[in-house]
A and B are shown apart, each in its own frame.
Chain A
Amino acid sequence: MKRWILGLLLGMSSVLWAQAPNQEVVLSATAGSKVGIALARPQIAGIDEAVINREFRDVIQRDLEEAGPFAVLKNNLPAGSEPSSYPAWISAGTDWLLICGITKTPSADVEVVLQVMDVKPGKPVFNKKYTGKEGALRRIAHTISDDLVARLTGDRGIANSRIVFVRQLSPGVKEIFQIDRDGANLSQLTDYKSLTLSPSVSEDGRLAFMTYKGGAPEIWGQMKPGGPNVKLYPRPGSPEGHCFAPAWSPDGKRLALVQGDRKGNSDIVILDVESGRVRRLTDSNCINTEPCWNPAGTQLAFTSDREGSPQVYLMEDDGSNMRRLTQEGSYNASPAWSPNGSMIAYVSRFEGKFDLFVYKLSEGKSYQITTGIASSESPTWSPDEHRLVFSSGSRGGMQLYTTDLSGNTLRRLTEFAGCQSPKWLKIH
Chain B
Amino acid sequence: MRIARNLIPLTVLMTMGLGIACKKPAPAPETKQEEAPAPAPAPTPQAAPTPAPAPEPLKADEAAMMRQAADAALKDINFDLDKSDIREVDKPKLQAIADFMRSYPRAKVQIAGNCDERGTVEYNLALGERRAHAAQAYLVSLGTDGAKLPTISYGKERPKVQGHDEESWLINRNCEFTLQ
- Chain A interface (Cβ within 8 Å of chain B)? 1-2, 171-172, 174, 194-195, 197-198, 212, 214-217, 242, 244-245, 258, 260, 262-266, 287-290, 303, 309-310, 326-328, 331, 333-334, 347, 349, 352-354, 357, 359, 364-378, 392-397, 399, 401, 403, 406-408, 410, 412, 417, 420-421
Q: Are B121 and A412 in contact (CB under 8 A)?
A: no
Q: Are B123 and A217 in contact (CB under 8 A)?
A: no
State the CA gap A403–B7 with chains docked (Å). Answer: 13
The answer, yes or no, to whether B68 is at the interface (CB within 8 Å) is no
Total contacts A to B, CB within 8 angstroms?
193
Q: Are A260 and B21 in contact (CB under 8 A)?
A: no
Given contacts A365-B3, A368-B3, A371-B8, 6 further A-B contacts (CB under 8 A): A214-B41, A309-B82, A331-B82, A367-B3, A407-B13, A410-B10
Chain B residues with Cβ below 8 Å from A406 are 7, 9
Instruction: Among B21, B118, B130, point to the contact of A397 (Cβ < 8 A).
Output: B21
State the CA gap A288–B130 with chains docked (Å). Answer: 12
State the CA gap A230–B4 with chains docked (Å). Answer: 45
Instruction: Among B11, B118, B157, point to the contact of A174 (Cβ < 8 A).
Output: B157
- Chain B interface (Cβ within 8 Å of chain A)? 1-15, 17-18, 20-22, 24, 27, 35-36, 38-42, 82, 84, 117-123, 125-127, 129-134, 136-137, 151-154, 157-158, 162, 164
Q: Are A303 and B123 in contact (CB under 8 A)?
A: yes
**Which residue of chain B lies nearest to A196 when distances are taken between CB atoms in the complex?**
B157
A selection of 26 A-B contacts at a CB cut-off of 8 Å is A195-B154, A195-B158, A198-B121, A212-B39, A216-B41, A242-B151, A242-B152, A258-B122, A264-B133, A266-B130, A289-B125, A290-B120, A310-B119, A334-B120, A359-B1, A365-B3, A366-B4, A372-B12, A373-B14, A374-B14, A374-B17, A375-B118, A392-B17, A395-B21, A397-B21, A399-B20
**Which residue of chain A lies nearest to B2 when distances are taken between CB atoms in the complex?**
A365
Min distance, Cβ A168 to any Cβ of chain B, angstroms: 9
Q: Are B10 and A1 in contact (CB under 8 A)?
A: no
**Which residue of chain A lies nearest to B125 when distances are taken between CB atoms in the complex?**
A244
**Which residue of chain B lies nearest to A364 when distances are taken between CB atoms in the complex?**
B1
Q: Are A371 and B2 in contact (CB under 8 A)?
A: no
Instruction: Among B11, B20, B131, B157, point to the contact of A195 (Cβ < 8 A).
Output: B157
Min distance, Cβ B81 to any Cβ of chain A, angstroms: 9
State the CA gap A373–B11 with chains docked (Å). Answer: 8
